[in-house]
Structure 1
Amino acid sequence: MTTDDALAALAGRLAAADGLPAYVYDLAALDRHAAAVRAALDGVELYYAVKANPDPALLRVLAPYVDGFEVSSGGEVAHVLSILPDARLAFGGPGKTDAELALAPKVSRLHVESPYELRRLAGLLDGGDPVDILLRVNLEAAIEGAALTMGGGATPFGMDHAGVEECLKLLDRDDRLRLRGIHAHLASGLDAPALLALAAEVLGYARDLGLTEINLGGGMAVSYRNPAQMFDWAAYGRGLAALRRPGEVLRIEPGRALTVYCGHYLTGVIDIKRVHGETFAIVTGGTHHLRTPVTKGHDQPFTVIPGRTTDDHPRIHDQTVTVVGQLCTPKDVFARNIPIARLAVGDVIAFSMAGAYAWNISHHDFLMHPKPGFHHLG
């Protein structure tokens, strides 16, 4: 049975049992993708950014292929260690509380965001082994074509050179803190050539400081408009191999680009109507479950799985349709004016590319609709 067949069969069972909406994660597809990414990154450390999707089954699939996990809160630290007790963790993100900084001995690397955060960390240590840290840097770099920018100018993330210099002076006086290198996640949504250009700038900065461990962050482009247009991992791996000098440790921490393709969000069509010349399909669930399309301003890719329909069910043929959810807001839109061959009430719409920044980033309790189910294939 193909993945499409398995998804269709599951959709039929869920629809019959009133089990929609639901998330479905294809673990076999994730395993294949993670293996291919790992093979392309010979000699480069690979960490998974848990914020993209912390589903326990996904973490277990990824574990054999990654060197560790990037976490951004005390909650993520506890979550990952409850599933994978021996996992190596890199703890990043701005605004760490004292309770989170106190977790430093439990993680492999702590990414320091500011001189004050470094001083607070030092004040919480009371002996034991030194804590290994990276300084998060925000370089003045030209960044074009990014979906999001976390560096290259004034942002809340990381430090400019003055902040780095202040940290270096503090570190000279405290042997409980061991500086391993720098972290620089400057942008998201870039292709391989653009990320390699940024990597060259970050490496130059690290070399000027005499540091040999460099975390280049994530930011690999994902196209919702053309899902087949995937990030060129092979070119990126070759490029990093060419940039790396002997003795240097390069690390990356992708999230979306690893798991987005394995996820599907299944919804049932509960009404079709025409209003002022535009056709709308209303589905169970909504952007309170899958917030990505409305926040990123794209049409979420989808396929239609024929369901149980009757002659009195509204249906359309060879029209464009706007797919919306159940929320009382005009922003609850999954995809707008999409050409479609046929659609009927009772069909199932399977939104693809729902394996990252989907359920876990959405406003679940708005209008207090039921939560979706979660299922795994493979």
Structure 2
Amino acid sequence: MPFCKKITPYYEFNLSSVKENYSNWKSICTKNSRTDIPAYSIKANYNKKILKTIKKLDGFFEVCSYLEYQYLKKIGIDSKKIIVNGTAFSKKNLKKILKSGTLIIADSEEIIKDICELNIKCSIGLRCNLDYIKTDKNTFFNKVSRFGITDIEEIISFLLKYKKVNLICLQAHFSGNTREPSVFKLIAETLCEIILHYNLKNITRIDIGGGYKVSRKYWNIRDYYESVLNVLKEKKMEYLKIIFEPGNSIVRNCGKYYTTIIDIKKINEIIYCIANGSIIHLPFLKGKKIKGYRIQNSKNKKEEKQYIVGSTCKESDILTELTNEPALKIGSVIEFNNVGAYSINEIPEFIIKKTKVYYLK
């Protein structure tokens, strides 16, 4: 019985999985009278139906560009439900975002100056560069980041001159690390220490960024949540609200990609199974060995090695390598799992057209 009845290639998104994943985050963040915030990082997947699914759950959203901000506004997301991590915005757009009540987390001294020069009453956040705490080489692979502000004392002194701008949030995000809960504990500890050191009494929340490795093999949401909440308890700073920026853990397992073998070639004893899809449709998996897949007609005799390649003219268009797997045939369908994040919105208009998208409710 074929597991794919539609014309391939295409994506399939399970909206029930999105609902379940976000609800799991929200239920943990709002237990015991807490009002902590899971702000879905929409760069992971800003498919409109996914965004609307989270909107129905009264969800929060995190964006890092004006384009993403516009996507949310077009589908009626409340401005106060959006958090903007700002790296490059015009003064015009900054003014529009701030006047709507959206929290902007400024990434540079220049953005801070632009906000102050607007001379409007607003609340903002500050992204802190915490490279100095990346001392464990087994935990942190990227020692240097170009994001965030290093001279926090200077910025705080500068902001004191502008009574209309209220600093209410400190944020930090690390990429290139093991992503274990202890990383986020360290971020929370350091942000709390900054608040205490500079006596920042107006700070009401900390944002510890994203990058959570949520799966049965690794950690669950509660592991991350409690590692941060325990820091607040230890420092007697439970009055602070915690903002999390989950992306991958909301949409990764909601997506599947289907493609069909349309030709098979044998060159220099290597079997190439040509699919009507392409690695261009799976940009985040390029150069990686894909493990999450299912093959139709999987009872065929096994082949020692087969390459599933795309139907474009690029030599690098290799979806995956199969070792000791059933021989593929023309018409065989391959289902790639866990491709809901950093996939569909990163597909370029290059050589091959974008795929259709279908939905399971």
TM-score class, shorter: 0.7 to 0.9
Assess if the C-alpha contact under 8 Å between 2:42 and 2:63 holds in 1: yes
**TM superposition shift of 1:25:** 0.2
Structure 1 residue corresponding to 2:23, chosen from 35, 46, 67: 35
Unmatched 5+ stretches in structure 2: none
The one of 329, 334, 343 equivalent to 1:349 is 334
Partners in 2 of 1:358 and 1:270 — Cα distance?
23
Identity %: 21
**1:101 has 2:94 as partner:** yes
Name segments (4+ residues, structure 1) moved above 6 Å: none
2-structure distance, mates of 1:66, 1:192? 26
Q: CA RMSD in A?
A: 2.5
Q: In structure 2, what is the Cα distance between the partners aligned to 1:134 and 1:120?
A: 14
Does structure 1 retain, via aligned residues, the 8 Å contact 2:261–2:333?
yes
Match of 2:192 in 1: 203
SS in structure 2 of the partner of residue 63 of structure 1: helix
Which residue is 2:125 aligned to? Answer: 134
In the TM superposition, residue 323 of structure 1 has moved relative to its aligned partner by 1.8
CA deviation after TM superposition for structure 1 residue 136, in Å: 0.5
SS at match of 2:166: strand
Asked if 1:238 is matched to 2:230, the reply is no
2:75 is aligned with 1:75:
no
Report the CA distance shift for 1:107/1:302 in structure 2 as closer, same or farther (over 3 A): farther
Q: How does 1:1-378 map to 2 (within 5 A)?
A: 9=3, 11-12=4-5, 14=6, 19-41=7-29, 42=31, 43=34, 44-65=36-57, 67-86=59-78, 88-102=81-95, 103-125=97-119, 127=120, 130-139=121-130, 140-142=132-134, 144=137, 149=142, 153=144, 155-160=145-150, 162=151, 164-187=152-175, 190-209=179-198, 210=200, 211-221=203-213, 228-244=216-232, 245-294=237-286, 297-299=288-290, 301-306=292-297, 317-362=302-347, 364-367=348-351, 369-378=352-361
Residue aligned with 1:343, SS: coil
- 2:84 partner amino acid: F
CA distance in 1, matches of 2:310, 2:216: 26
TM-score by length of 1: 0.83
User: What displacement does 1:213 show?
Assistant: 1.5
For 1:217, what is the secondary structure of its paired residue?
A: coil
Cα deviation for residue 280 of structure 1 reads 2.2
Please say if residues 145 and 190 of structure 1, whose CA atoms lie closer than 8 Å, have aligned partners that are also in contact: no
SS of corresponding position for 2:341: coil
Give, as a single letter, the amino acid of the residue that structure 1 aligns with 2:107.
Answer: E
Asked if 1 retains the 8 angstrom alpha-carbon contact of 2:172 and 2:187, the reply is no
Q: From the superposition, tell whether residues 282 and 61 of structure 1 become closer, same or farther in structure 2 (CA, over 3 Å).
A: same
What amino acid does structure 2 have at the position aligned with 1:89?
A: I
Q: Report the CA distance between 1:27 and its aligned residue.
A: 1.0
Q: Distance in 2 between matches of 1:25 and 1:355?
A: 7
Specify whether residues 322 and 252 from structure 1 end up closer, same or farther in structure 2 by C-alpha distance, changes over 3 A only. Answer: same
| 1:306-355 alpha-carbon deviations (Å, 9 max, x no partner) | 49xxxxxxx86343322221232232222224442242211211111111
Alignment: residue pair count: 344
Q: Tell me, yes or no, if the aligned pair for 1:73 and 1:93 is still in contact at 8 Å.
A: yes
Does the C-alpha gap of structure 1 residues 278 and 141 become closer, same or farther in structure 2, counting only changes over 3 Å? farther
For structure 1, the residue ranges without an aligned partner over 5 or more in a row are 308-314
Instruction: Check whether the contact 1:113–1:135 (CA below 8 A) recurs between aligned residues.
Output: yes
